Amino acid sequence: MDGRATVLLVCEDRSQLFMAGDSLRIYGYDAVQVGSEAEAMEQLQSGLRLSVLVTDISVTLDGLKLARTARELRPRAHVIYTARMPHAVSQKGRVSGALLVRAPYRPAQIAALIAELQGKADPAPASRAA
C-alpha cells in the first residue's frame, strides 16, 4: 500500500463531483466519485479502503445516514459533510469528529480539511512526472 488516503466523494452535482475528484487526485489522494447514496453504499460494501468520506447532505441524499453506515463498516474513517444550508444540519445526527462545509466548496478547501483530519500539514499539489 502506498499510503495515499482514499476519499469517497458523494455528490449529486456532477460538475462539483468531477471537479473535486480531479482536484483531490492532483493533491495526491485516491478519489472515488459517486453520484448517489446507493452507489456509495456499493463502494462501502465492496471493501473500499476508505480513509475519508466526503458526502452531501440534501433533500435527496441522506449524508448523515451514509456517514453512520460508513463508520459502522470503517470505524476509523473521517467524515466531511457538505451542505448548501449547513446551519440547518442538526449536530445530533452527525458522527463524532465530523466536519461540516458549506456547498459549493473549493476542492482545495476539502484537500486542506482532509490533511487536517489526518494530522498532516496543508497539502500541496503532487508533482507530476514529465
Q: Give pTM, 2 decimals.
A: 0.89
Quote the pLDDT of residue 130.
38
Closest CA to 11 of 22, 26, 27, 1: 22
Residue 23 phi/psi, 5-degree rounding, is -65, -40
pLDDT band at 42 (very low <50, low <70, confident <90, very high): very high
- Three-state SS string across 81-100, please? EEECCHHHCCCCCCCCCCEE
- Per CATH, the number for 6-117 is 3.40.50.2300
Q: Look at 2 and 35; give whichever has higher pLDDT.
A: 35
As a whole number, mean pLDDT of residues 6-18 equals: 95
**77-122 pLDDT tens trace:** 999 999 999 988 888 889 999 999 999 999 999 999 999 998 876 6
Could you tell me the residue ranges of all domains in the chain? 6-117
